[in-house]
Amino acid sequence: MTEGIKGKILLIKLSSLGDVIFNIPLANSLKKAGYSLTWLVGEKGYDVIKNNPCVDDVILAPFVKWKKSGFSFREYFSILKKIRDEQFDISIDTQGRFKSLMFNLFCGAKRRIAGSDGKEFSKFGANEIVPVGKNIFEVNVVEKYLDFAKYLDAETDITDMSLPPSETKDIENVDNMLKGINKPIAVLCPQTTWVTKHWDKENWIELTEKISGRFSLVFTGTDYDFLESINNGQGLNLAGKTNLKELIEIFRRSDLIISLDSGSTHLARAAQAKAIISIFCSTPEKYYAPIGENYISFGGKLECRPCHKRKCKNNTLACTKLPNVEEVLSAVDKLTEKEN
């Protein structure tokens, strides 16, 4: 063991982008406690972990590739050999699924740790179980992952986020994208994966109309036509035009982010964006919302929310209509006053 290092830890958190970001405070806690940390991650989170000061090394497990082209035993055993050659003292599986069990069980670490909330038999890959998985309606998800740091007697800070520094080429690309903008930048991120997490389209249209005079609007997402349908001819539509590292640089330069319960919101938080408004429909804001003085998160007051479901059991999608636009505008005013 290297002098001055408590031990070598393998952190297994493969996906999704949001969940990878939620684990960054855990990684920072373990690093600051004196551990050497290597992160096993999938493609979706690779760019936010590679060269991130929260780790010493990163290993890619290409699950997206395997899902498309078929699982490769050759690649799996090659990755597993690389892991075993590192002779880790501790492994921590915060993924809690069968795909993380495949690595945790055979990684060679003497102490193999998993959470009590693990699914798909993932706990069988561990020889130590940490009680985690608090009530999702009462605490922030980052607290759940920090339970692993507390288990190893590391000090924790729920706000301790970090991302890799922007590279010169990404800075130059964003310079070109934002050329000519002379007002404060508001980035609108109206897309995510679940239909029950999408704020109503008409709300986005109204919001865009009412803030377009105050901000230079930038729209990000994957569906160019959808963004065109809500932007009223205003602003810059960057759908499909940015990679993850360029998006981080855009968030770093922005004055305001308005988003949903999505990877964009969590990425903006990790990028230490100046101000974030996150709109929650079916999912619990207390569990997923960014924590910070300049971040406002809220959802509608309905008996059925937060249901945390991909499909509306009432078939009304009532939660996607709330909050109303005036509430969001009040949050914009509040954050703008703070900046001024």
Local confidence band at 139 (pLDDT 50, 70, 90 cut-offs): confident
Sign of CA dihedral 314, 315, 319, 325: negative
pTM of the predicted model as reported, rounded to 2 decimal places: 0.92
Residue 219 tokens read as: 């729209």
339 pLDDT higher than 60:
no
Q: Give the pLDDT confidence of 196-251 residue by residue, as tens digits.
A: 999 999 999 999 999 998 999 999 999 999 999 998 888 999 998 999 999 999 99
> How many angstroms separate the Cα of 265 from the Cα of each of 61, 63, 185, 238, 253?
25, 23, 16, 16, 15
Residue 33: phi, psi to the nearest 5? Answer: -80, -5
C-alpha span between 304 and 243 (Å, rounded): 36
The CA-based dihedral angle spanning residues 140, 144, 148, 152, taken in that order and rounded to the nearest 10 degrees = 60
- Backbone φ/ψ region at 180: left (φ over 0), alpha (ψ -120 to 50), beta: left
- Among 124, 123, 121, 147, smallest CA distance to 134 is for 147
Q: Give the pLDDT confidence of 279-301 residue by residue, as tens digits.
A: 999 999 999 999 888 999 998 89
Question: Structural domains in the chain?
Answer: 8-151 (3.40.50.2000), 168-339 (3.40.50.2000)
Q: Residue 336: what pLDDT?
A: 84
C-alpha span between 287 and 196 (Å, rounded): 16
Q: Give the pLDDT confidence of 250-279 residue by residue, as tens digits.
A: 999 999 999 999 999 999 999 999 999 999
